[in-house]
Structure 1
Amino acid sequence: VSVLYWRWRSPMQCHTLVIGGGIVGLAVAARLSRHGATVLVERHGTLLHETSGRNSGVVHAGIYYPDETLKTALCLAGATRIWDLHREGRVTAHHCGKWIVATDDAEVPALDAIHRRMMSRGIPSREVPLAEVATTEPLLRAVKVIESPRTGIVDAASLAAAYTADLEANDGLVALQTQVLGAEHLAGGTVRVHLDDGDSKTHIDAAAVVNCAGLSAHRVAALLQHDTVLQRVPPLHLWGGRYASCVGKAPVRRLVYPVPLPSLQGLGSHATIDLGGAVRFGPDAFYIGRASASADGPATVDPEECSYDIAATPGGESGFLDEMHEGVRRFLPSLPRERLVAGYMGIRPKLSGPTDGFKDFAIEREGNVVHCFGIESPGLTSSAGIADHVASLLF
């Protein structure tokens, strides 16, 4: 991603300061740059450094989450924008489609419920005849299949480049390796945010601030002196998601998802493809710990100290691959275990712990600051929808 790397030379002012250089922060900065001078700060030396750069790149169709939730509404809006950008030639994406599969009769009622939800939302769908399944995906085991032709994949870097280009076209700036140290709330609603770029400390006065810090969103809210906001939203829980790559000939030609877990902590060990047709499986979902204080006690993990090494996760690399293979065998029973190799791992900033049910995105305004908490899947798909929603809260 090409960005304008700008070192602070003196204290300055801007209309909007966006904190966080993931895909949502970039989308928000691009959208808000239409209203005035916008600066995005990212503490790492690259964009998409954390959650945004460690996901499956799936463009979701808005199927799984409850009605009247931000996850559903913003996913639908964001997906439309991604496909518009694809048609304009500005992002690299592929309408590969997705098959949601019931592997036995016990899963059919849940699959039927998903199909009814798709139809009620106007999401294109069809039941795939089993004869067609046998012909086009001969290795797949399923008793019923529902197709989502609107689901696809996108290259996250190309999407980030499109958002960055829109930001820079409006004279916006991106400052990498820039940490937020704290903030003051001045008369008239101005927020003075103190920053450190590694060489010097300075501040920037902003009419509006948007916290898109992902894994660090709760910490940034505290630095912005918004403890009252933190009292309104659930604590941050970190969940790991590991991927396994499939070596050799691709066993499927499209996205294949089993019926999801009832808790929606994950969508099961599904098969995804990349833009080159290679297949990977995952992510799984394992709990890491609570990353912000709550009524239940202090934080138990620090996002900055979490490892992305699969070998250091529960079960190690071998145990992970055994578990992933067991899940994949539900719908690809003939796939040998030796064709799976450890891929990469991401960490999700969820608002739900192991015993909690579904939690929606939490996008909260306090004064001239908007905080985006719990932006996990379908965050990449929802990015443009989130940006429009943030704009509606501020302007």
Structure 2
Amino acid sequence: MDTYDVVIIGGGIVGLATAYQLHQTHPGVRCAIVEKEDAVASHQTGRNSGVIHSGIFYTPGSLKAENCRKGRKQLVDFCEQYGVDYDVCGKVIVAATDAEVPELERIREKGRKNQIACTRIGPERLRELEPHTRGVAALHVPSSGIVDYIGMAQAMAHVVQEHGYDVYTGAAVQALDVTADGVVCHTTAGSVRGRLVVNCAGLYADKIAQMSGQDPQAQIVPFRGEYYELVPERQHLCNNLIYPVPNPDFPFLGVHFTRMIEGHVECGPSAVLAFAREGYTFTDVNWPELWETLTYPGFVKLSAKHWRKGLYEMVQSLSKETYVRAAQHLIPEVTSDDLVPSPSGVRAQAVRRDGTLVDDFLIRATDRVVNVINAASPAATASLQIGTHIMDTYLTPRIERVGLQQQPVDVQ
């Protein structure tokens, strides 16, 4: 059985960014990453909208706001250094009606408190930026952009492997044995031992936390984001990123238009309950996981409170006509013929037993295991700063306590 100083569970962008920052700050520490799929970035990282978020939507002072703002700069620097495709193209957040203007102003105030440059613009300037979008007012946020997150994750994996880290793929964690001096991770590819473990398992982060002996105090509920994309001859309808004013009661931003780094334009997503934690289509059903979700008190309470919104999202999922109407809220000339289905993603959303959504990053730790329980959007944008936060707050004190540091730390 191979033994390491640190084992990171999960080869998504948060796990890889944590490994990258571990190498930057503690180059003498031996580390392995265990990933259950055959390649890194196979789930949330490789199936998201590809947006570099500015952080404007998040509560000032929250981990999301702070890590997103700092992480965005680190992301751009990383992409420049390692040749990952990105484009800081800016976005507009559009108030389509007068009723949406007060919320638009609240978002602008969040932007001010989060130190994010944004400008309120009128219909004429909006038409200059996005000629086919209609609204009574908008916010222009120049720091938003688009990026190749799969390429970024692959670059991180390459860097850490070059420096001696092992990346095990096809290694699904089945159990953890936590002892006074380490943790044995039993996987489908064999067992590895780490003196410290970081759980970045995304859709299964709560399960891994339970294996470590910690009550996550929340359960992951999977929400599928369903997308369409504009047919090639209609991609000119969107120049960059066009967002609606979101419903402040939900963590989802609503149907929006995104120019992807590859050049096509996505529209979406809807947000419906997935029938499996990796349920990327309506017919992907894992009955034990679905039963666990439907009987979880937190989901029952959440559904009872927001059943109208949930029903609307389900109707939007099943009815293209309803989906098109949501898209027309931003670009009136979009028609059903302009949109074709695009691959879906699943968001790992932590829900507390009282039915409230965990609206911030949630990281909890035991003596030997650091559990990243909730790291939904903007975790990809913030990944490098999340890695820094994990290092500074959790790993470095433990590394020093158990005597893993083998050479002087070069903090970058």
| Contact kept? 2:230, 2:264, Cα under 8 Å | yes
Amino acid at match of 1:249: R
Match in the other structure for 2:254: 268
> Which residue, 228, 234, 240 being the options, matches 1:249?
234
Match of 2:21 among 27, 31, 36: 31
| AA in 2 matched with 1:237 | V
Residues 349 and 357, structure 2, Cα contact 8 Å, conserved in 1: no
* CA distance in 1: counterparts of 2:156 and 2:274, whole angstroms: 31
CA apart distance, 1:259? 0.3
Aligned to 1:304: none
Whether the aligned pair in 1 keeps the contact of 2:229 and 2:267 (CA below 8 Å) is yes
Give 2:395's aligned residue: 394
Residue 223 of structure 2 corresponds to residue 239 of structure 1: yes
Partner residue in 2 for 1:367: 367
RMSD: 2.4
- Paired residue for 1:186, among 179, 182, 185? 179
Distance, in Å, in 2 between the alignment partners of 1:357 and 1:193 is 30
Q: Deviations over 1:102-125 (max 9, x none)?
A: 001000010011112212222111
Counterpart in 2 of 1:223? 211
Query: Which of 151, 155, 171 is 1:162 aligned to?
Result: 155
Q: Take 2:355 and 2:362, find their aligned partners in 1: how far apart are those partners?
A: 19
Confirm or deny that 1:196 pairs with 2:188: yes
- For 1:29 and 1:103, locate their aligned partners in 2 and report how far apart those are by CA, in whole Å: 43
Alpha-carbon distance between aligned partners in 1 of 2:199 and 2:210, rounded to the nearest angstrom: 11
Residue 278 of structure 1 corresponds to 264
Distance across 1 between alignment mates of 2:137 and 2:315: 33
Q: For 1:21 and 1:208, locate their aligned partners in 2 and report how far apart those are by CA, in whole Å.
A: 17
Partner of residue 341, structure 2: 342
- The 2-side partners of 1:186 and 1:134 are apart by 62
Q: Which ranges of 4 or more aligned residues in structure 1 deviate by more than 4 Å? A: 289-300, 313-317
The whole-number CA distance in structure 2 between the counterparts of 1:12 and 1:45 is 20
1:259 — aligned with what?
Answer: 245
Could you list the runs of 5+ residues in structure 1 that have no partner in the other structure?
Answer: 1-10, 301-312
State how far apart, in whole Å, the 2-side matches of 1:264 and 1:293 are.
19
Partner of 2:199: 211
Residue 381 in structure 1 maps to residue 381 in structure 2: yes
Contact 2:200 2:371 in 1 (8 A): yes
State the distance in 2 between where 1:328 and 1:150 align.
24
Q: What is the letter of the counterpart of residue 227 of structure 2? A: Y
CA deviations 1:206-239 (Å, max 9, x no partner) are 1110011111111222233x1x332xx2221111
Partner of 1:96: 89
Contact 1:234/1:352, CA 8 A, preserved across alignment: yes
**Alpha-carbon shift at residue 263 of structure 1 (Å):** 1.6
Q: Which runs of 5+ in 2 are unaligned?
A: 278-288, 301-312, 397-412
* Superposition TM-score, scaled by structure 2 size: 0.82
Q: CA separation of 1:328/1:41 partners in 2, compared to 1, >3 Å: closer, same or farther?
A: same
The residue identity in structure 2 corresponding to 1:192 is V
- Offset at 1:14? 0.6
Once the two structures are superposed, residues 48-90 of structure 1 have per-residue CA deviations (whole angstroms, 9 ceiling, x without a partner) of 1111111101010111111221111111121111111233353
* CA displacement at 1:348 relative to structure 2: 0.8
Q: Tell me, what secondary structure is at the counterpart of 2:222?
A: strand
* Equivalenced residues, count: 363
Letter in 2 for 1:326: R
- Distance in 1 (CA, whole Å) between partners of 2:299 and 2:112 is 42
Deviation at 1:135, TM superposition (A): 3.5
Measure how far apart 1:359 and its partner are. Answer: 2.1
Q: Distance in 2 between matches of 1:55 and 1:293?
A: 22
Q: For 1:356-390, what per-residue CA distance to the aligned partner results, in whole angstroms no more than 9, with x for missing partners?
A: 35521211111121001122111111111111111
- Contact 2:47 2:345 survives alignment (8 Å): yes
Contact kept in structure 2, 1:90 and 1:158, CA below 8 Å = no
Name the CA distance, whole Å, in 1 between partners of 2:188 and 2:340.
40
Is 1:107 the counterpart of 2:100 in the alignment?
A: yes
Which residue does the alignment assign to 1:306?
none
Once the two structures are TM-superposed, the CA of residue 22 in structure 1 deviates from its matched residue by 1.0
How far apart, CA to CA, are the structure 1 residues paired with 2:6 and 2:192? 10
Q: 1:145 to 1:299 in 2, by over 3 A?
A: closer
Q: Does 1:118 align with 2:136?
A: no
1:213 aligned partner, one-letter code: A
Matched to 1:361, the amino acid is F
As a proportion of its length, which structure holds more helix? 2
Q: TM-score, normalised by structure 1?
A: 0.86
Taking a change above 3 Å as real, the CA distance of residues 136 and 179 of structure 1, as seen in their structure-2 partners, is closer
Residue 373 to residue 358, structure 1, CA distance change in 2 (3 Å): closer
Q: Is the 8 A contact 2:230 2:267 kept in 1?
A: yes
Contact 2:221–2:293 (Cα < 8 Å) also in 1: no
Secondary structure of residue in 1 paired with 2:135: coil
Q: Deviations over 1:258-312 (max 9, x none)?
A: 0011223310101000124321111111123795689955999xxxxxxxxxxxx
- Given that 2:251 and 2:359 are in contact with CA atoms closer than 8 Å, whether structure 1 keeps it comes out as no
Percentage of pairs with the same residue? 29
- In the alignment, the residues of structure 2 paired with residue 206 and residue 283 of structure 1 have an alpha-carbon distance, to the nearest angstrom, of 39
